[in-house]
Amino acid sequence: MNWNKKDLLGLEELSKEELEHILATAESFKEVSTREIKKVPALRGKTVVNLFYEPSTRTRVSFEVAAKRLSADVINIATETSSVKKGETLIDTGRNIQALKADIIVMRHNYSGAAVMLARHVDISVVNAGDGWHEHPTQALLDIFTLKEKLGRIEGLQVAIVGDIAHSRVARSNIWGLTKLGAEVTVCAPKILIPPGIEEMGAKVSLNINEALKNADAVNVLRMQFERDELNAFPKQLEYFKEFGITKERLKEAKKGIVVMHPGPINRGVEMSSEVADGANSVILEQVTNGIAVRMAVLFLVAQARDINANTH
């Protein structure tokens, strides 16, 4: 297939074929990280700017490693050091980065839609590394990649997503990606954390963790952020753990071989027990490894699309 999108803003706007194409490209890049010299020249001479308005060491490092393994030059801009605090608008920042002749902006932003807006105002590629509660497409892609690697397929799988669905871009991107690829998704959380209309995105809703795990081939456990106002109703982290935490006992009742995922960083003893995080079902570290391959694929594809577009215009 011909990839022609210069940006990756979310999985909602991708077709099944496009999703499969990214996954296939990631597969071919995964091998690079096993070489002695972990580098290919695919993006040599290109500049990738990591523009992070929210601190996130893991995602930033993952993109940085991915870009470097493709031989790109990487510049990191974090809010503390940039002009963001001095009140420069996102559009101005984007245009300035473009004027530096960078090729790709990888952006993490605390407001939903920020990446969409940036992409509208710059000609260079924009990769969304998480915007507000909206989407986190590369996280979902690496989750899906890992799942496919483990279970051999996505079509027909039952996947449970557990945790703060309302405020989770990871949940949204996973729902779009998984359902497009033919999996069935059940979201599970206390009612207050289920956003309205989530069923229309193609997910089932369960308020009971045991029920959600019952037929699940995989469970994706989201990080709980108890500092949110909405969670005042859930006064104790322990209480959440009791009702929704993923424990060894709960997994015993689930399908044998259920795959346990977590986008990290884990709150051990809050959303899952340490035993589960480090146990045989957990693929959490494999997710981190696969994140590199998936991000290499995404950076490669968007850069290529931009080159093709530039040549045809």
Q: What are phi and psi for residue 126, nearest 5 degrees? A: -125, 125
- Percent helix, percent strand, percent coil in the chain, to nearest 5: 45, 15, 35
Q: What's the rounded Cα separation, in Å, for the pair 54 and 112?
A: 12
Count of Cβ atoms closer than 10 Å to residue 165 Cβ = 23
59 is an active site residue = yes
Of 85, 86, 101, 236, catalytic: 86
Q: Rank residues 151 and 205 by Cβ distance to other proteins and give the closer one.
A: 205
121 is an active site residue = no
Q: Rank residues 65 and 116 by Cβ distance to other proteins and give the closer one.
A: 116
Query: Minimal distance in Å, beta carbon 249 to other proteins?
Result: 32
Nearest Cα to Cα of residue 217 among 191, 188, 256, 190: 256
Of 58, 120, 228, 248, catalytic: 58
Of 25, 47, 59, 186, catalytic: 59
Q: Rank residues 113 and 264 by Cβ distance to other proteins and give the closer one.
A: 113
Q: Rank residues 113 and 269 by Cβ distance to other proteins and give the closer one.
A: 113
Of 60, 69, 108, 180, catalytic: 108
Structure-token pair, residue 92 = 């101005």
86 is an active site residue = yes
Query: Minimal distance in Å, beta carbon 59 to other proteins?
Result: 17
Tell how far CA 97 is from the center of its chain.
24
Query: Minimal distance in Å, beta carbon 283 to other proteins?
Result: 26
Judged by DSSP in three states, 206 sits in strand
Q: What's the rounded Cα separation, in Å, for the pair 141 and 202?
A: 17
Q: What's the rounded Cα separation, in Å, for the pair 189 and 19?
A: 27
Q: Rank residues 89 and 210 by Cβ distance to other proteins and give the closer one.
A: 89
Query: Minimal distance in Å, beta carbon 90 to other proteins?
Result: 6
250 is an active site residue = no
Of 46, 69, 136, 148, catalytic: 136
Q: What's the rounded Cα separation, in Å, for the pair 151 and 23?
A: 14
The binding site for other proteins (CB under 8 A) comprises: 12, 89-91, 109, 111-114, 116-117, 131-135, 169, 172, 195-198, 200-201
Nearest Cα to Cα of residue 117 among 95, 145, 138, 99: 95
Query: Minimal distance in Å, beta carbon 13 to other proteins?
Result: 10
Element of type H or E holding 205: strand 203-206
58 is an active site residue = yes
Residues serving a catalytic function are 58-59, 86, 108, 136
